[in-house]
A and B are shown apart, each in its own frame.
Chain A
Amino acid sequence: MMRLYVEGIGLLGPGLDGWSASRSVLAGETSYVDAPTNVRASDMLPAAERRRAGVPIKLALTVGQEAFLQAGRETKTASTVFTSSGGDNDNVHAINGILATAPREVSPTRFHNSVHNAAAGYWCIAAGSHEPSTSLCAHDASFAAGLLESATQVTVDDAVVVLIAYDHPYPEPLNAVRPITAAFGMALILTPRKSEKSLASIDVDFVSGKTRESTMQDAGLETLRAGVPAARGLPLLAALASGKAAQIGIAYFDENHLTLRVTPC
C-alpha cells in the first residue's frame, strides 16, 4: 500500500470549468450540465510558446496551474508525471495528411509538438521546473498508469509530484477507430506527508485480477468517464469532492487494477 496526500486539484472538461466550479457537481449536490470544454491558453507560457500550443498543452497547463494555485505551492518545486492515451491528436492527423501528399513539408513546430512529451516540455518551460518529468501512455489505462507511477515517486523518492492527465478527440478518420469523446484534463498535487493544505489521503494498491470499476452516478459524467481515458480519474475526484471516505476501483489492463482508499484530512 502506498499512501499519498492530495494538496491541490485542477480540472477542465465538458461542463467542468475548474475544480472549484465543479466540486458541487462532482459531489452530486448540483446537476451536471454538458457544455463544450473551455479550452484556453495559459498565461503561464511566454507569448511565442502560447501561439504554438495545441489543445493538450492548453489542457495540461490550465489544470496544472489551478492545482498549484490551490496548493499555494511554487510550480518549479514538483516532479511531473504526464499521462495521455494520445498526445496532440489534431497535430498527428495533420502530419499524417502532409506526409501522404507531396510536398512533405512538416513544419518545425508541428514536428516538435508531435512528441508525446510536448505538454511536459511546455510545462517545464512555463513552470521553470528542472525536476524530473515523465510522459506516459497506457491506452485506456493511461490514468491508472500515471497514478501508479506518481504513487511510486511519492513513496519511494519522497517526492512532491503533480500528476497531469489529459486527452482530447482525434479528427476523422482517426476518430472513427479511436473515439475520444471530449477534451478533458485533470491534475493532482500529491505529497508524501500531510500538511495543513492536505485535502485527503489516498492509499493506492496495485492488485492482480479484474475489478468492478467505480462509475459516476450522473449519467452524463459516466458517459464522460467511459469516453475519455484521462477521465477514468473522475470517481477519485467525486470522492474528493464529497469529502467522505470512499473506496474506488480503477481498471488497469485486463489482468489487474488499482484499489484506492480515500480518507478526508
Chain B
Amino acid sequence: MDALRSRRSGLIPCAFEDVDLETYIAKVEALDTYRMRPDLSAYDCRNNRLAQLCLQQDGFEDAVAASRSKYGAQRIGVFLGTSTSGILQTELAYRRLDPQTGALPPDFHYAETQNSNSLAGFVSHYLGLTGPSFVVSSACSSSAKVFANAVRMMAAGICDAAVVGGVDSLCLSTLYGFNSLGLVSRSPCRPYDAERDGISVGEGAGFVLLERASSESTSNAMLLLGIGESSDAYHMSTPHPEGLGAKMAMQRALDSAGLKAGEIDYINLHGTATKSNDASEGKAVADVFGNKVACSSTKGWTGHLLGAAGITEAIIAMLAVENNFVPGSVNTRQLDPTIAIDYRIENGEATIKRVLSNSFGFGGSNCSLVLGRQS
C-alpha cells in the first residue's frame, strides 16, 4: 500500500542472468540467495522460491493453518496460476548438458521445477494441504481464473476453502519471446499513454484464502462478487481489435455479481501498455461502462506479472476497497486521446465499494473479477 501511495515503481533497467535486452523489469532481488525449506529442496527454483517468500508474508501461513484446523487438510483446495513455472531451471540446465551423452545434469528435478504443476505441488506440501489441486496455465489470465475453479469446487462440495493465487518469475523464454513479438518496451511501460510502446516484464506472486461467504460474514468481509470468463477466438497473441472477448468477460462478471455497470467504483485494467491491448481493452471498457468509472492499470508499478497478474491485481483492487483509494498510473504521461474512458494518472480517494479487475492472455483467454463488500 505504501508503494502505491508513494508511486514507487518496482521497474529497473534489466539486469537478470546474462540477458542482453535493453528493457526494464521488475525483479525480486531477494530470490537470488533465497533458501527453500530444507524438506522441500527438490522444489528449489526461482518460481518456488518466490512462492515460499510470498506465502510467508502478511500472516498468510497462519491464516491457512487456522483454516486447516477448522476444515481439515483434505478439505482445502489449491488452485494456482503460472505461465512458465520453473522453466528457468531448464533453460539453465540446457547450458550444462553432459558433453558426451547430452543428458541433463543430475541435479535437475523435472516434476518439482519445470512441470507447470510444480507450483501447486510445492504450495500444497508447504502448507500441508491435501485437497484437490492443479495449476491453471492460460497465460496472463491464469491467476484470475483460479477464483472460478475454487468457487465451483466449493459449490460442488469438493472442498470448504481454497488457496488461490499465482506465481511467475523471470526467465529467458518470456523476455526473449515477448521481445521477438516486438512487445517489449525499452523504457518503463506506460499504460494507456498515447506513446506507449510495450510491456515491462516482471516477476511476482500473490495468494488469497477463499472460504464460502455465510450469514456470519461481517459487513466488512471482502467478497468475491462475480466472475466472467470468455475466449476471443481471434488470434493467438493479438487481442480482438474491438475488444469482443474482453467485453463478454466484463459483462458476464457483472451478470454473475448481479450488478449494473454503474455500481462498479473502480476498474483495475489489464493495461499492459502494448498498442493493441490498451486500444482493444479501452474500447471494451467504454462500451460496457462508458466514461463514468475510474480506471487505471497498475502495471507501471509492477510490470506485467503474466501468470501472477490476475492475483496481484485482484489484491491491489481489494486494497482500493479497504483504503477507499483509487490507484493512478505510474509512468503514464499523455493519455491516448482515442480511448474514451475515465483513466486516472494521479492517485485519488473516493468511496470504493466494488471493483472490477481484468486479466487477458495469449490464446484469447479473458477473465474479469468483481470484488468488494456487500451493499
Partners in one complex: yes
List residues of chain A with CB under 8 Å of any chain B CB. 2, 49, 76, 80, 85-87, 92, 95-97, 99-100, 104-108, 110-118, 120-122, 124-125, 127-139, 141-142, 145, 148-149, 151-153, 155-157, 172-174, 176-178, 206, 208, 252-253, 255-256
A87 to B136, CA, bound (A): 12
Closest to B252 in A: A132
Closest chain-A Cβ to B263's Cβ sits at a distance in Å of: 23
Q: Are B138 and A122 in contact (CB under 8 A)?
A: no
> Which of B90, B116, B120 contacts A87 (CB under 8 A)?
B116
Instruction: Contact check, A145 vs B134: say whether CB atoms are below 8 A apart.
Output: yes
Judge whether B137 and A111 touch: CB under 8 Å.
no
Is B136's CB under 8 angstroms from A95's CB?
no
Q: Which residues of B contact A206 (CB under 8 A)?
A: 132, 158
CB of A105, distance to nearest CB on chain B (Å): 7
List the A residue with the shortest CB-CB distance to B236.
A112
**Shortest 9 CB-CB distances between A and B: which pairs?**
A121-B363, A111-B177, A116-B137, A132-B229, A137-B116, A152-B152, A255-B130, A145-B134, A100-B94
Within 8 Å CB of A86, what residues of B? 115
Cβ-defined contact, A111 with B180, below 8 A: yes
Q: Contact check, B104 vs A174: say whether CB atoms are below 8 A apart.
A: yes
Contacts of B365 in A (CB 8 A): 117, 120-121, 133, 135
* Residues of B close to A104: CB separation below 8 A: 172, 176
In the assembled complex, the CB of A77 is this many whole angstroms from the nearest CB of chain B, namely 13
Alpha-carbon separation in the docked complex, A142 to B234 (Å): 27
Which of B59-67, B95-103, B271-279, B319-327 is near enough to bind chain A? B95-103
List, in ascending order, chain A residues with CB within 8 A of B138's CB: 115-117, 120, 133-135
- In the complex formed, the residue of A with least CB distance to B95 is A100
Q: Which chain A residue has the least Cβ–Cβ distance from B135? A: A137
Contacts A117-B363, A153-B152: A138 and B110 contacting too (C-beta < 8 A)?
no
Q: Contacts A121-B364, A121-B365 hold; do A176 and B153 have CB atoms under 8 A apart?
A: no
- B344-375, CB under 8 A of A: which get 1 and which 0? 00000000000000000111110000000000
Contact in complex: A130, B248 (CB < 8 Å): yes
Q: Collect the chain B residues with CB atoms within 8 Å of residue A121's CB.
A: 236, 362-365
* B48 contacts partner chain A, Cβ-Cβ < 8 Å: no
A124-B233, A133-B138, A152-B152 known; A173 and B103 CB under 8 Å? yes
Interface string of B238-270 (1 = CB under 8 A from A): 000000110010000000000000000000000
Q: Which residue of A lies closest to B97 (CB)?
A: A173
Residues of B near A176 (CB, < 8 A) are: 103-104
- The minimal Cβ–Cβ distance linking B89 to chain A, given in whole angstroms, is 10
Distance to closest chain B CB from A148 (angstroms): 6
- A150 CB to closest chain B CB (Å) equals 10
Contact B363 A99 (CB under 8 A): no
